[in-house]
Structure 1
Amino acid sequence: MRQSDIICSVETGTRSQKVGVITLDRPKALNALSVEMVTTIHDQLNIWDQDDALSHVIIKSSAPRAFCAGGDVRYARELLLTDPVNGALGYFKAEYLADVAVAQFSKPIIALCVGIVMGGGAGIAQNCSHIVATDTTRFAMPETAIGLFPDATASLFLGRCPRPIALWLGTTGAIIDGAECMMLGLAHAVVKTADIDALAGALVACNPDEIDDVIGTFQIDPGVPGLSANRAAIDYIFGGAKAEDMVIRASDMARIKGDAFAANIHNLLTTRCPVSIKLFIHLLTLSDMLDGVDAALDLDFKLALKMMRRPDLSEGIRAVLVDKDHAPIWSPATLAEVSDHMIADIFNHEGLPALR
């Protein structure tokens, strides 16, 4: 079956087993997830889950530049401009329900993460049973740049990282590679992008109990993770209890030691959406209390509803993806102006609909 931007097919392996293949095919948009794409993922996985003859599923990209750059937030902004209260409700619901379908799929499901893997694309991949990164993988959760927050179960998969690393990734949108994903448990293996088609073919041919061995035959040594060199700085800066403490620590480290890495963190913490940063810091404290994917996505859905009713989301998308002036006017403009009461209100979900 082919819808525009996504191809769902059933391949027959060498042992006559059926294997589902979902190919994201929107290369000009770096496979940004449209409503149609996430709805197709949700519906197709539910059908395949009931097919006893189908043994496992592969999710991949049609092009090596990107597995998936995230949700189609430009479209979400168009919806918000039409209806600032509930305009994007349907979009976020469809995206998160696709994550539910991936996470709760009863058979092995393998994500082949070439190139860019960000935002909603990371959410799809991280909820698969097998996550394969490549030598070109660029992973990030950059939502604080557009006035949203790391969602799509980031509270869980970033929550499993050491806290300073999770805060670094979630507040700054830092980009990491395949080796770093392996180090942090965000990937199970790293392979060459040049081998990804051969790996996909081998995964179609194998039985589900052979998946790990097949991936292992393609696995490469990813090398020393680059973030190891900056781990001490990350631990120090993001060991601060509050966002303001992190800014001060980054500033001091940059000024006193001339640390360029710390200076970059300071720049990001003082230019990304202040509400988004503080929201994520609080969200991360709830990670251990969330009862699985359902609870995490229900919380993400309600937080997204609260955030889309604020001005920052439309403004951030405008600045980064529409006008591309990269000069958003945040409301409030600084971390100091974001009160605890303001964050508490965003986490007050009385009267909001549940995800499902």
Structure 2
Amino acid sequence: MSDVLIRKAGRAGRITLNRPAALNALSYDMCLGIDAALRDWAQDPEIDRVVMDANGPRAFCAGGDIAELHARGTAGDHAFGQGFWRDEYRMNARIAEYPKPVVSLMQGFTMGGGVGLGCHASHRIVGESSQIAMPECAIGLVPDVGGTHLLAHAPGRVGVWLGLTGSRMGPGDAIRAGFADHFVPEAEWPELIARLESGTEAIPAHEPPAGRLPEAQAEIDRLFEGFALADIIGRLEQAGTGLAEEALKAIRRSSPLAMAVTLEILRRLGPQPTIRQALALEYRFTWRAQGQADFLEGIRAAIIDKDRSPRWRHDHAAAVRPDEVAALLEPLGPHALTFEEERT
């Protein structure tokens, strides 16, 4: 059975992730297959919309297949990861800019690569089990797959909080933060998909469950002000609140270098970046991530050896120098990320 089921159903192009045992982790081959289908359907007069979902109750997509990236990277094959990220980012941009409606239904975990797949759609649906996050700093990466685009557009300093801590959002908070649009109880999803396939675009209106952001927003805005990692940590240490302690716990597990670069990306992007601007800046880091950052060590500690004791390049935030951050975001020259129409 294929890891991703791609077919036509009525007036819809249908994409169903089909690796439930692996939490629908996105492999390079899955990425290429999805992107090829999107290219074909864009000009197909029989297709009015694209509907993306996933099999299994636990996850829409919990991220990319990072175990394979680690195996190739530690063997010295950095080109595999660079190619994967390049083609994945092109797919992310295609979804965000697609000329037809794209509907994503995101149950359970949607993280990392899953965010890039589902959260750039034009109609993003979440349900009771939805948990959306960008936890890349904990594995020595920056929020990528266009994640910094979403973080930059989030209200106030919510994007900085999410990017540094990898905090999980339930359905209500995902909608408030701009990662989703509609809450629909998951029991209604089969009927909704059938209507979408038949040509009906109407998505029923339901009130999402209350999240934490309405009450936490002011505190987040105060604690995560600015783009200096050491200053943010200092405010968190002084605050002594439950939110601050939770954030500190996450930050102390994460790569100081990755967090510093995340802040610099968000600073450079400003509040209204385009998806392509975000992806191009992210790619400057990921192109270098295997050889010049903490990514391979982060995967080793979290996924391979599972000792949860990564040996980061820096012991603490203050040890990260500005020139190190700048070097990871230098233009890539001939290796810079390009998009399809720029290559033809």
Structure 2 counterpart of 1:225, which letter? G
Partner of 1:224: helix, strand, or coil? coil
Alignment of 1:284 with 2:272, yes or no, is: no
CA distance in 2, matches of 1:188, 1:108: 13
Could you tell which deviates more after superposition, 79-88 or 93-102?
79-88
CA contact (8 A) 1:22 1:58 kept: yes
- The correspondence for 1:243, drawn from 197, 216, 229, is 229
Helix, strand or coil at the partner of 1:158: helix
Q: Deviations over 1:238-285 (max 9, x none)?
A: 02441111111111111xxxx222112112222210011011111111
**Would you say 1:200 and 2:193 are equivalent positions?**
yes
* Counterpart residue number, 1:111: 104
Asked if 1 retains the 8 angstrom alpha-carbon contact of 2:230 and 2:317, the reply is yes
Whether the aligned pair in 2 keeps the contact of 1:250 and 1:266 (CA below 8 Å) is: yes
2:341 paired residue number: none
Match of 2:215 in 1: 229
**Alignment partner for residue 62 of structure 2, among 64, 69, 79?**
69
* Selected match of 1:300 from 282, 285, 302: 282
TM-score normalised by L of structure 2: 0.93
Which has the higher mean CA deviation after the structures are superposed, 153-162 or 345-354?
345-354
Aligned residues: 338
Q: Aligned letter for 1:10?
A: K
Q: Which of 172, 175, 186 lines up with 1:179 in the alignment? A: 172
The residue number in structure 2 matching 1:42 is 35
Distance 2:286 2:293 in 1: 13
Contact 1:64 1:193 (C-alpha < 8 Å) held by counterparts: no
Q: TM-score, structure 1 length as denominator? A: 0.90
C-alpha displacement of 1:220: 2.2
Distance 1:290 1:79 in 2: 35
Give ranges in structure 1 of 5+ residues lacking alignment: 13-17
Write the distance in 1 (CA, Å) between the matches of 2:20 and 2:26.
Answer: 11
Q: Secondary structure at the match of 1:86?
A: helix
Whether the aligned pair in 2 keeps the contact of 1:5 and 1:24 (CA below 8 Å) is yes
Distance 1:299 1:236 in 2: 27
C-alpha contact (below 8 Å) 1:190/1:221 kept by paired residues: yes
Which residue of 163, 185, 196 maps to 1:170? 163
1:179–1:290 CA distance, 2 compared to 1 (3 A): closer
| 1:140 corresponding residue in structure 2 | 133
Deviations 1:170-225 (A, max 9, x none): 01100011001112222111011222222111211224xxx2xx212xx3211322
Deviations along 1:92-142, one digit per CA (max 9) or x if unpaired, are: 122112212212321111011111111111111122111111111100000
Cα distance between partner residues in 2 of 1:315 and 1:323 = 10
Q: What RMSD over aligned residues (CA atoms) do the two structures have, in Å?
A: 1.7
Label 1:347 to 1:290 Cα distance change in 2 as closer, same or farther (>3 A). farther
Deviation (angstroms), 1:151: 0.6
* Correspondence 1:257-268 to 2 at 5 A: 259-268=241-250
How far 1:154 sits from its partner (Å)? 1.6
Please give the secondary structure, in 2, of the residue aligned with 1:139: strand
Which ranges in structure 2 are unaligned for 5 or more consecutive residues?
339-344
Is residue 227–residue 267 contact of structure 2 (8 Å, CA) maintained in 1? no
- Counterparts of 1:239 and 1:101 in 2: how far apart (Å)? 32
Is 1:93 the counterpart of 2:86 in the alignment?
A: yes
Counterpart mapping for 1:308-327 below 5 A = 308-327=290-309
SS at 1:149's partner residue? coil
Please give the alpha-carbon distance, in whole angstroms, between the structure 2 residues aligned to 1:271 and 1:115: 23
Q: Give the whole-Å Cα distance in 1 for the aligned partners of 2:209 and 2:260.
A: 34
Match of 2:181 in 1: 188
Q: Paired residue for 1:15?
A: none
Per-residue deviation at 1:83?
1.6
Name the structure 1 match of 2:342. Answer: none
* Letter aligned with residue 302 of structure 1: R
> Counterpart amino acid of 1:224?
A
Secondary structure, in 3 states, of the residue corresponding to 2:157?
helix
The letter of the residue matching 1:238 is: F
